[in-house]
Structure 1
Amino acid sequence: MAIVEFTIVPLGTKETSLSKYVANCHKVLEGEKKIKYQLTPMGTIVEGDLDLILNLIRKMHDVPFENGALRVSTSIKIDDRRDKNSTMEGKVKSVREKL
C-alpha cells in the first residue's frame, strides 16, 4: 500500500484564494471508496493502491483547468513500502512513540 502526499496549485487565477479549487479537487476523492485521504493545510495525503492513487491525482490535476485556471502545478511525494504494510496513522504513531 502506498502513502502519497500531493499538492495541486492552480496558477493564473483572478484571485489569491485557492480554497474553492481545493474543494472541487476533493470532490473527486469523496467518490472513491478504495482510497483513504486526509486534507492538510498545505496538501493532501492519501493511502491505497498506487495505480489508483496516480489515476485519481491525474483526474484532480484537470479540475482547476475545468474551473478557469490557466496553469496548474502538481507536486507528488510517494512512499511505497513493500516489506510491510504501512498506513498514515502507523507512521505518525511510530514517531509519537519515540517522543
Structure 2
Amino acid sequence: MAIVNLTIVPLGTQTPSVSDYVAAVHRELEKTGIKNHLTPMGTILEGDLAEILEVVKTLHEVPFEKGAQRVVTTISIDDRRDKKSTAMGKVERVKAKL
C-alpha cells in the first residue's frame, strides 16, 4: 500500500485564500473512497498506487474548473513493499520513541 502526500495549489486566482479550492478538491476526493487525511499543508492518501495516481489526475483538474488559471500539484510517494504501513502507524512509531 502506498502513502502519498498531495498538495494542489491554484495560482492566478482573485484572492490569496485557497480554502474554497481545498474544499472542492476534498469533495471530489470523498467520492473516490480513498482513505485520506487533511493536513494544514496538504492531504495524505493511502491505498493502491495506481488508483491514487488516477485520482490525482482528476483532483488536479478541480481548481481549473473553479477558475484557477494555473495549478501546481506536488506528490510525494512512500511505497513500501516489505511490510504493510499506514500514515498513522508511521506517526505512532515515532511518538513511541519520543
TM-score (ref. length: structure 2): 0.97
Distance, in Å, in 2 between the alignment partners of 1:30 and 1:16 is 25
Q: 1:2-13 to 2 correspondence within 5 Å?
A: 2-13=2-13
Runs of 4+ in 1 over 6 A off after TM superposition: none
Kept in 2: contact 1:28–1:56 (CA 8 A): no
The RMSD of aligned alpha carbons is 0.6
Residue type of the alignment partner of 1:84: K
2:43 aligned residue: 44
Deviations 1:17-76 (A, max 9, x none): 10000000011111122x110000000001000011111111010000011000000010
Task: In structure 1, list runs of 5 or more residues that go unmatched.
Answer: none
Task: In structure 2, list runs of 5 or more residues that go unmatched.
Answer: none
Instruction: Using the aligned pairs only, state the percent identity.
Output: 61
TM-score (ref. length: structure 1): 0.96
